[in-house]
Amino acid sequence: MSAACLLALSGFAGFVALGGCADLSEMDEGSCGNGVVESGEDCDRFPDGQCIPSGEKNACRLHCTADAEGVRPACPTGWGCGVDDLCRQPTGKFQTAAWLPIEGGAKFATGDFDGDKRRDLAFTTLRELVVTYLDADGKVADSLRWFSPIAAPPPVGQLTAQTSPDDVVLQVDGLTVLVGDLARTLRPTAYAPFNVEATSARVLVMDAMPLGSDPKNPALWAGDEIIVIAGGMVSTIGEKSTGLMDMSAMKGEFAGDPLVGRVSEGWPCEYILLNFKGAGALPGYSPCTATAGWNQG
C-alpha cells in the first residue's frame, strides 16, 4: 500500500479525510522483510539481532548461533536449537531411533563428544564405560569402550576453554579425563594425582567457579571443574587438591547419585544436591561463594 491517509467517519457528513497523510513505502504481502510474521516465517525484522534479515540465507528465521564465549541466544519457550544453529519447534512425536543392547544397572549421561552438535550417549556398567556416537537419525555411528568398574553416571562436561566437544571423566583408582574430538576418539589425559576409592567416591563435573572469578587470571576458570566427594570431604581437583567442605558430620549412605543444577539464576555457580538414606531433606551445597570465591568450611 502507498500514500495512505487516515479517514474518520463523521456522523453527518460521511467520510472526511484528515490532514497529515503518510507516504508509506510499498509493502509486498507474503515477503520476508515487510515487518509482518507470515506463514513460513518465525520472525520478521524483530527481535533485532536474532531474526535473520531479508536477503540472507534462512531469512526470517530465528538463529541461535553461539557467540565467542559459547553463549547462545534463547529460542522461544518450548523450542530448541538445531544442529544448523536455527531455532526449531519440535513436532511432539517420537520415533524409535536405535536399539542398544545394554545390561541392567547401567547409568547414563549425554554429551556432544564429537562436536557435531548432536547429543551422544555415555553409560557405565559394573565393568566398563561405553561412549556411543549417534548420527542424524539417532542410529549408532561408532562406539568406544574403556575399563571402568564403577556403575555411576559418567561425569560429562567441558573442562577446557573450547566450546565443544565435551569431555568425560574416567574413574579408575585415579582420575583420567577423556578429551573428545571431531575424529570420534577420546584422548586420555591424566588430570590430577588424586587417589579415588572406587567404592565410595563420587566425581562430578560442574560449573563450580564462574569464568572471570580470578582478576589476575580471568581465563582461569574457563569451562567446568571437577569436584570429588570422598572420605567425608568435598574437594576440587585441578593442579592440586583443595578441600572445600567437611561432610563427616552428615551420617548415612547415599540413597542416590548426587545431583548438579543451577538453583538460582543470580548465583554465580551450580549447586550440589545430596541424597542420603532416611534424610527428611535434600541438603544443598554451593562450591562457590556469592563473590565467586571457593566456599571453604
CA 164 to chain centre: 11
What per-residue confidence (pLDDT) applies to 15?
42
Length reported for the chain: 297
Are 177 and 170 within 8 A, CB to CB? yes
229-268 per-position pLDDT tens digit: 877 788 887 666 678 888 766 666 777 888 898 888 889 8
Matching residue, cell 563450580: 208
Residue 68, pLDDT score: 76
Task: State the pLDDT at residue 7.
Answer: 36
Q: Which residues pair with 203 in a beta bridge?
A: 228
pLDDT at 199: 55
Sketch the domain layout of the chain as residue ranges.
Answer: 107-212+222-249
Is the separation of the CB atoms in 230 and 241 below 8 Å? no
- Name beta bridge partners: 262: none
pLDDT at 88: 93
The predicted structure's pLDDT at residue 21: 52
Alpha-carbon distance 96 to 55, whole Å?
Answer: 38
* pTM assigned to the model: 0.73
End-to-end CA distance of the chain: 70
State which residues of the chain have pLDDT below 70. 1-30, 161-163, 173, 191-200, 238-241, 248-252, 297
The predicted pLDDT at position 108 comes to: 92
Closest C-alpha to 85, from 124, 118, 127: 118
The conformation of residue 83, written as its DSSP 8-state character, comes to T
